[in-house]
Amino acid sequence: MHFTSERRLDGGVVEREFTLGEIPGILWTPASASASAPVPLILLGHPTLGLRKMYPRLVGRARHAAADGIATATIELPGCGERPRWEAAEQARADLRRAKQADEPISDELIDALILPLVDRAVPEWQAALDALLELPEIGGPVGYSGGVISIGIRLALVEPRITAAGLFAGSFVPRAMFEEARRVTIPLHVLLQWDDEGNDRQAALDLFDAFGSKEKSLHANMGGHTGVPQFAGEDAAGFFTRHLK
Amino acid sequence: MHFTSERRLDGGVVEREFTLGEIPGILWTPASASASAPVPLILLGHPTLGLRKMYPRLVGRARHAAADGIATATIELPGCGERPRWEAAEQARADLRRAKQADEPISDELIDALILPLVDRAVPEWQAALDALLELPEIGGPVGYSGGVISIGIRLALVEPRITAAGLFAGSFVPRAMFEEARRVTIPLHVLLQWDDEGNDRQAALDLFDAFGSKEKSLHANMGGHTGVPQFAGEDAAGFFTRHLK
């Protein structure tokens, strides 16, 4: 992990860009974090639009967490932003655009092609990032995962024991195979659902929430479309992480 | 409204019992509330088990609200506690017990008989209590309604313009006719659902949430049965009222 830039944002947040091999990422820490006062960490997931495009929303979440005394970090997803594309993923995205333009239903096969290879590639990268982040003296743990492509969150919640709480956004396609993984997740979960999300199947999201094996799981459904998550929903999610990480 | 007792609870909460005609009730105010610093009010709904039985949970909610600078009040429901029974309600309750013991489905007719006359009697009483409470110089408003028999909350949210926000518990039977009233509710709503509530139809609760006409409505679903609402769900509901009443 190589830091490539460092700047101080107002509100006492230190923002550092880094690379992890070929993968760009960003780490935000409360200025107060130090080796003698290490802080918990939330991995900030995001959709496949690229870090640069997602930056404004990510830094907002990072500032909020820093105010609660929690560090946050994110990395670019495979095939997104400046990272090399791979053919099968490009093909699946093209198929998705075509199906949407033609107003056709999105088939299970297409959802599998879009999501499963992404999960398989991304999850080990987030785990490698976690290895590197936890070596920093100012990052102590515990660790949470928040948002982004929900299947990445499900897989991480299942396979990465250092993640002890997850906030998931039921806002992207979920392959049927992920329901089986969801049943085996046991960490506390905070699941956001936008009730009128135009790109999301509400019943599938409710079924997925039902499937999770966690004894503590909360579903917070709010009005509005995919990007309309109200500010107070962010406050409640922050409360969830404070309860579990602090 | 006649106050019949007054005592100070620790934490700076003043508890006063009152009667409103034949109806017993309780008012809790933060000790700081005064004519020159009047406070908002939450009407505390409760199930049909009687105020005495519900007191421990009610006083817990009252203490929490008082710490947030909000007064709370509740009154006994018609036909409950020490109040006179009426025959049709007793008959409906007996029919419900019989159906439950025989493991029979609860018919729409029985739900109507249980709930609709209760709503018709209770709602004007809560409105009369509100009239009296708002005459107290230390109670200013705005006013919220929280919990209890959800159909009473729906009717109050619809017909009582002084109630500007409602926290509802999707935990009791809802007559089909109430869905029509729900569609016409427009105030901000915070709806709690216990995902595994043994006495409650989950799909009906989701349909009811969908039916509400409010632009701001949130559904918070948590694990566990009817009485297992987790403490953090109470915190989130308190945040909803603070946002809308303070």
A220/B215 touch (CB, cutoff 8 Å), yes or no:
no
Residue pLDDT, tens place only, B16-62: 999 999 999 999 999 999 999 999 999 999 999 999 999 999 999 99
pLDDT, mean of residues A222-226: 90
10 Å CB burial of residue A142 (0-12, 13-18, 19+) is middle
Residue B91 lies inside a defined structural domain of this protein: no
Q: Which of A196, A236, A243, A246 to mutate to test the interface with B (most CBs of B within 10 A)?
A: A236
CB of B207 within 8 Å of any CB in chain A? no
Q: What is the structure's pLDDT at B240?
A: 97
Look at residue B122 and tell me whether its pLDDT is greater than 90: yes
CA B157 to chain centre: 11
Residue pLDDT, tens place only, A74-92: 999 999 999 999 999 999 9
Look at residue B144 and tell me whether its pLDDT is greater than 90: yes
CB of A230 within 8 Å of any CB in chain B? yes
**Beta-carbon pairs below 8 A across chains A and B:** 54
Q: What is the structure's pLDDT at B198?
A: 82
Residues with Cβ within 8 Å of residue B216, at least 6 apart in sequence: A223, A230, B188, B189
Q: What is the structure's pLDDT at B226?
A: 86
* % of chain B surpassing 90 pLDDT: 92
Q: What is the structure's pLDDT at B82?
A: 94
Kindly indicate the confidence band of residue B11, based on its pLDDT and cuts at 50, 70 and 90.
Answer: confident
Q: What is the structure's pLDDT at B227?
A: 86
Residue A179 lies inside a defined structural domain of this protein: yes
**ipTM metric:** 0.86
Nearest chain B CA: its distance from A222 CA (Å) = 5
Residue B83 lies inside a defined structural domain of this protein: no
Residue A97 lies inside a defined structural domain of this protein: no
Residue A216 lies inside a defined structural domain of this protein: yes
Kindly indicate the confidence band of residue A162, based on its pLDDT and cuts at 50, 70 and 90.
Answer: very high
Residue A117 lies inside a defined structural domain of this protein: no
Structurally, how many domains does chain B consist of? 1
Look at residue B76 and tell me whether its pLDDT is greater than 90: yes
Q: Which helix (H) or strand (E) holds A207?
A: helix A202-211
Residue B183 lies inside a defined structural domain of this protein: yes
Specify the CATH number for the domain of residue A153: 3.40.50.1820
CB of A217 within 8 Å of any CB in chain B? yes
pLDDT, mean of residues B132-158: 97
Residue A71 lies inside a defined structural domain of this protein: yes
Look at residue A171 and tell me whether its pLDDT is greater than 90: no
Q: Which domain holds residue A28?
A: 2-83+122-245
Kindly indicate the confidence band of residue A16, based on its pLDDT and cuts at 50, 70 and 90.
Answer: very high
Write the DSSP symbol of residue B183: H
Q: Angle of helix B87-101 relative to helix B108-134, nearest 10 degrees?
A: 130
Q: What is the structure's pLDDT at B156?
A: 98
Look at residue A226 and tell me whether its pLDDT is greater than 90: no
List C-alpha distances in Å: B106 to B110, B200, B226.
7, 11, 17
